[in-house]
Structure 1
Amino acid sequence: MPETTSRQDAGVQPRAVALIGPQGSGKSTLFDALLTAAGSPPPRRPGDPRTRAMGTEARLGHCDFMGDPWALLDCPGSIEFVQETAAALAIADIAVVVCDPNPARAAGLAPAFHALERAGLPAMVFVNKADTLGDQQIRDTLAALQAHSRRPLVLRQVPIREKGEVTGYVDLVSERAYRWRKGEPSELIRMPDAVAAREAEARAALAETLADHDDTLLEKVVEDAIPTPEDLYRPLHADIAAGAVDPVLFGSAERRHGVLRLWKALRHDTPGPDQTAARRGVAPEGEPVAQVFRTVHAGHGGKLSYTRIWRGALKDGATLDGARIGGITRFPAGEAAKAAEATMGEVVALGRLDPVPTGATLSPSGAVPALPFPAPPAPVYALAITTEDRKDDVRLSGALAKLTEEDPSLSITHDAEAGQIVLAGQGDIHLGYAVARLAEAHGLRVNTSRPRIPFKETIRAAARHHARHRRQTGGHGQFADVTLEVSPRPRGEGFAFEDRIVGGAIPRKFIPAVGEAAEEAARKGPLGNPVVDIAVTLHDGAFHSVDSSDMAFATATRMAMQEALAKAEPVMLEPVDQVTVLVPQDATPAAQRLLTGRRGQILGYAEKDGWPGWDEVQALVPEAELHDLIIELRSQTMGLGTYTRRFDHLAETRGR
């Protein structure tokens, strides 16, 4: 592993770009093309040890373009790995939203646009596969995308077509025309007459949008004066940095068309890390500050904490929050290289910071306030897991802890009642990858099954039962006599115990043992589930001055409870959740049918606030019907639908 020198020279700060967008949009191809255009061709994907499964983790590559140092992050496109993307956005200076030119697929960009809004991150849009546009107008793609973004999207280019094929573009700011050339930089040409009118129209629209935030440009627009390139460059640069507009460029990553133009736009308009740090609340002066955005347990290589440095410089061996750095790694062209130091703005992997979690804010003193970091999304799919070999149970706990540290959108719960370990996440692909990771990285093979539903039971009627426990085995025996009544309580009121003993039929010292035993007996009713919402009343009993004890009264109580509950018309209860489904509006009817087909009760639906073209559907659905809901929901919504849920109430279930 070679050692690299500092990437920060001549005052140029390293900048970070996150490539985001739907699966299949060509982000990884663009990532490779950008590295190649910068003179740092990426490694062959099968040989990249950090890309353990393509499309599930962000790839990191370092390069220099025109003397400027950059870190590129290729983020997963699947909604099931959204936490990887959110983490990358938390430390990036700008995002490039990569999309398909087909307007019918524009809804797939809505999650990306809203993630940018939440992060307050500047962005550009790159319409990939522009060579497939044919006669389709780029303005139609822009309109479809704008329907899902609250930020104004402005065309930066218009296409040049020859014989029905897009062969180049006109830059709307400089008004220069270029023809793409395979494997070479674009050729500067005279603007074709056929595109002049469209170029003037698009340039005027760009000027009008930018004039909303620039009085000098507004004056020219009002006076119908033709703005100069500088009149447009200045407000465009400011608006991008402020997240006020997103410029739209296009090209073909596969053919390397438009890639150099994208690079130049990034070089001109990407804010520096000092601006990003200020936006995130890091003051310019003070001790070094860094933030961990990703954790990888690299086998014999130990733990790697992928980190953005927001202030100062870090040297190998330095101490952060009480932990000593055990190596600094960069990834030029995606290949690991050791470094002695990392400076402001760099994205590097720090070695062996074992106690440091993902999202942590680090400093030598440990006194710097924590910077914001995205919370993981709520799980929507779960599996119970058991080791194939019971001897591996002890190792499983440690492996799961590492797994959830690497991916905070995974969660582990230990269901003591069901005796299960439940792994939850963002879908079947997400959990399938997690299970594969357990086998690959930790040598643990596990079996998976559907988690047990936490059914309960209650009673419909009151019932009384008398029980006597007597045992004589020589010496002191055991004796206790109780008469108990069980009765139903309103749903949600839980367990209650009442003592109505009079006249000393049972000494006061034994009453607590009766109450505790009654509550314990309710943990498993006649139908095999915990019993809820019942009242237990102790009416009468008898004792022996020598043979009675807490143990004897507990035994008699359990006997009475077992018989009384069986006589009190027991009934099964199932948990019912309030479910909120988020889908594109054209999928709302399908989502409603899906919910009602799972015994759901639709409560209503409405457009989601801030999400034009998307609906939220509210419903009450039994938890037993939710196990694979996300799989079917996504199959009917091009992989876009999702939902959240919370427990609402217990309801009687029939036929179980």
Structure 2
Amino acid sequence: MPDSASRQAGGASPRAVALIGPQGSGKSTLFDALLATAGAAPARRPGDPRSRAAGTETRLGHCIFMDEPWALLDCPGSVEFGQETAAALAVADLVILVCEPSPARAAALAPAFRALEQSGLPAMIFINKADTLGDQHVRDTLAALQAHSRRPLVLRQVPIRDKGEVTGYVDLVSERAYRWRKGEPSELIRMPDSVAAREAEARAALTETLADHDDTLLEKVVEDAIPTPAELYKPLHADIAAGALDPVLIGAAERRNGVLRLWKALRHDAPRPEETAARRGIAPDGEPLAQVFRTVHAGHGGKLSYARIWRGSLKDGATVNGVRIGGVSRFPGGEALKVPEATMGEIVALGRLESIPSGATISPSGAAPALPFPAPPPPVYALAIATEDRKDDVRLSGALQRLVEEDPSLTVVHDAEAGQILLHGQGDIHLGHAVARLAEAHGLRVSTTRPRIPFKETIRQAARHHARHRRQTGGHGQFADVTLEVSPRPRGEGFAFEDRIVGGAIPRKFIPAVGEAAEEASRKGPLGNPVVDIAVTLHDGAFHSVDSSDMAFATATRMAMQEALAKAEPVMLEPVDQVTVLVPQDATAAAQRLLTGRRGQILGYAEKDGWPGWDEVQALVPEAELHDLIIELRSQTMGLGTYTRRFDHLAETRAR
């Protein structure tokens, strides 16, 4: 898009549309078809160094359709990269939800419908691959989709069939019929008699839905009068903008069938950025304001912060939030194009905003109020990572920090107890992509292993042991004598030390050293793990006026603790988490079997509030069984199932 694109488009502010949908729906094909129909090249080309792994990151495409500028955002289809999609929704004016024509696949869109409801964004549904419908009916797909959406879904088109194959459609508002032509605009035809009855039925349903929010149209319905196209367009536009309903269109993106009709619907019904800004509570007057929604570290190109301009304009070299902008870029055809300025509504990449994170609101004063931005989802999968060359350990820390900057749904935890660096994320594909990014962008090759489970141990009975430490090495020697008892405490009460010395058997000044050494000795028990929930009691001892010291008493205490713990019936403890699994109701029984097969204790299940057709299953599951739970759960639920977890308690390890 040339720098003068906005002026060429009559001064219209660019609108932004996000394409979302499950993997396999043909969403990216539709993205390319929309760009091609608008006369723009696809935003990703083979061999382009900026072409990151397919399906894992949002693609940005700029184009002009009918003299108006647009930005298209092709969001990842995998649930493992949902944070990318959520961030794009934060800056979009409208969403196109792409789906397949099969009713059996409708459940895959439930998370997307929830995201739309939470964001309040206007949306259109595009049933792709309509040329593969065969004997199936669009109304069956619509009914299946409606079961997962709180918003009314209304057909805008009904298909025309010829010998069982969908060859075109009738627009329900204009009542015009079109025949599809592969790669070319559709041909206007007379409405076939075979579709007239179905068209009248579907148009009546559309009219009744629109009449729910329009009194004038309601009068038409009551009087059995046929509304004109203009009388339908007006309430339809208002209802879409208000998020009161979602229109449903059909097409076949691979053949570019229905794409031009979709473009015209977007042009008519997508809100302008001024309207979206008002809905988000952004006043039209004031200093320039933008929101960063995506961060990319582009190697030698430095850090790029993708942002939507909500007010005013931002120039190259301007200062925002105390940082100087080091370049403004658009990406027509996937090629970076430096421009001197970005204006209201544009989505651009701003260079060198080193201290600005994704989600930040930026302005020249740095005092702009924060705008809503999605929090990352809780992690469901983790790997322990280590550099293959220890010389790279220092570099690894900085590289991981940049990874988390790019993708906030990644988290890094330094587990000091296990001696591991843990990378948490949304699944094995998600973390595999992160590891590949470490090698590709940072030249760091790492090995990955399963995280160590933080086992603990405790004791079942009390035990007493006497230990004496004596050493003579010339000069002052070392002497200390202690009698300790270890005893179990209730689960969760931790470590306690009690001094019962009487008569000065051990001087008071040495007692703290005994307590500290006892606690230190509990950090590694007879079974090799930290010992928890024990009480240590110092009953007796002896000292030497010259050779006793804190060090000597600490040594004697460790000797006594080692023997006492070994005699006290040590037992392994494992962490048990409370797990909440979210699945479609037809997968609830499978989820319960999956949990019990992993030593889980089912606590109950109930319908998820606000998620019709979905259940939450509550269970207690040992942490050792949770590493790959998300992989198996998704494999049994068409990739839809997910879960959250929190530590609940420690329990004695049970053999499988």
Instruction: Specify if TM > 0.5.
Output: yes
Q: Which residue of 1 aligns with 2:509?
A: 509
Shift of 1:218: 1.8
Q: Give, in angstroms, the shift of residue 6 of structure 1.
A: 5.4
* Pair 1:6–1:189, CA change in 2 (3 A): closer
Please give the alpha-carbon distance, in whole angstroms, between the structure 2 residues aligned to 1:333 and 1:7.
17
Q: What residue ranges of structure 1 are gaps of 5+ in the alignment?
A: none
Q: Partner letter of residue 126 of structure 2?
A: F
Task: Confirm or deny that 1:158 pairs with 2:158.
Answer: yes
TM-superposed deviation, 1:3: 6.8
The equivalent of 1:356 in structure 2 is 356
Does the 8 A contact of 1:160 with 1:169 survive in 2? yes
Q: Give TM-score scaled by structure 2 length.
A: 0.98
Contact 1:6 1:342 (8 Å CA) reproduced: no
Q: How many pairs does the alignment contain?
A: 655
Q: 8 Å contact 1:590–1:636 — kept in the other structure?
A: yes
Return the offset for 1:121: 1.0
Q: Structure 1 counterpart of 2:244, which letter?
A: A
Verify: 1:367 aligned to 2:367, yes or no.
yes
2:72 — aligned with what?
72
Q: Which residue of 2 aligns with 1:228?
A: 228
The answer (yes or no) to whether the contact 1:51–1:57 under 8 Å persists in 2 is no
1:139 aligns with: 139
Residue 47 of structure 2 is aligned to residue 34 of structure 1: no
Question: 1:529 aligns to what SS in structure 2?
Answer: coil
What percent identity do the matched residue pairs reach? 86
- Equivalences for 1:146-545 in 2 at 5 Å? 146-545=146-545
Is the 2:44–2:333 Cα contact (8 Å) retained in structure 1?
A: no
Deviations 1:513-557 (A, max 9, x none): 211111111111110000011111111222222222222221111
Paired residue secondary structure (2:583): strand
Aligned-pair CA distance for 1:654: 3.7
Distance between the aligned counterparts of 2:60 and 2:276, measured in 1? 19
SS at match of 1:562: helix
**Matches of 2:96 and 2:309 in 1, distance apart?**
21
Deviations 1:314-372 (A, max 9, x none): 00001111111111110113321111000111100001111111111111111112111
Matched, 1:603 2:609: no
- Partner amino acid, structure 1, of 2:504: G
- Answer with 525-534 or 174-183: which moved more: 174-183
Whichever residue aligns with residue 427 of structure 1, its letter is G
Quick one: distance in 1 between partners of 2:340 and 2:5?
8
Amino acid at match of 1:458: T
Distance 1:43 1:61, change over 3 A: closer
Q: CA deviation at 1:276?
A: 1.4
Deviations 1:595-646 (A, max 9, x none): 1111111111111111111111111111101111111111111111111111
Contact kept? 2:295, 2:405, Cα under 8 Å: yes
Change (3 A) 1:200 1:3: closer
- DSSP 3-state at the match of 1:55: coil
Q: Which amino acid aligns with 1:643?
A: Y
8 Å contact from structure 2 (residues 5, 69) kept in 1: no
Q: Is the 8 A contact 2:154 2:206 kept in 1?
A: yes
Residue identity matched to 1:356: I
Q: Is the partner of 2:560 in helix, strand or coil?
A: helix
Q: Counterpart amino acid of 1:351?
A: G
Structure 2 letter corresponding to 1:442: H
Which residue in 1 is equivalent to 2:117?
117
| Separation of aligned partners in 2, 1:464 and 1:373 | 58
1:7 maps to a residue whose letter is: S
Give the corresponding residue for 1:57.
57
Deviates more, 1:284-293 or 1:35-44: 35-44
Judge which range, 474-483 or 269-278, deviates more. 474-483
Which whole-Å deviations, capped at 9, do the CAs of 1:278-303 have from their partners, x for residues lacking one?
22222211111111111111111111
- SS of alignment partner, residue 46 of structure 1: coil
Give the 5 Å matches for 1:636-647. Answer: 636-647=636-647
2: distance between equivalents of 1:267 and 1:479? 89
1:164 counterpart letter in structure 2 = G
Following superposition, the deviation at residue 447 of structure 1 comes to 0.8
Deviations 1:213-251 (A, max 9, x none): 222222222222222212211111111111110100010
Q: How far apart are 1:48 and its partner, in Å?
A: 3.2
Mapped partners of 1:466, 1:457: distance in 2: 22
Give the C-alpha shift of residue 493 in structure 1: 0.9
CA distance in 1, matches of 2:491, 2:64: 65
Report the counterpart of residue 584 of structure 1 in structure 2: 584
CA distance in 2 between partners of 1:540 and 1:655 (Å) = 40
* Deviating more after overlay: 95-104 vs 605-614: 605-614
Q: What SS class does the counterpart of residue 91 from structure 1 fall into?
A: coil
Q: Which letter maps to 2:258?
A: G
Residue 475 of structure 1: how far off its partner (Å): 2.3
Q: In structure 1, what residue type is equivalent to 2:581?
A: V
Q: Is the CA contact (8 Å cut-off) linking 2:573 and 2:651 kept in structure 1?
A: yes
Does the CA-based 8 Å contact 1:3-1:338 persist in structure 2? no
CA distance in 1, matches of 2:334, 2:226: 45
Contact 1:50/1:59 (8 A) holds in 2: no
**Residues 152-210 of structure 1: CA deviation (Å, up to 9, x unaligned):** 11101111112211111111111111111222211222222221111111111111111
Structure 2 counterpart SS, 1:537: strand
Letter in 1 for 2:28: S
8 Å Cα contact 2:43/2:331 also seen in 1: no
In 2, distance between residues paired with 1:369 and 1:517? 52
Any idea what SS the aligned residue of 1:333 has?
A: helix
Quick one: distance in 2 between partners of 1:330 and 1:364? Answer: 21
Measured on the aligned residues, the alpha-carbon RMSD in Å equals 1.4
Moved more, 151-160 or 330-339: 330-339
Using the TM superposition, give the Cα deviation of residue 394 of structure 1 relative to its aligned residue in structure 2, in angstroms.
Answer: 1.1
Which one is further off, 347-356 or 223-232?
A: 223-232
Tell me, yes or no, if the aligned pair for 2:123 and 2:246 is still in contact at 8 Å: yes
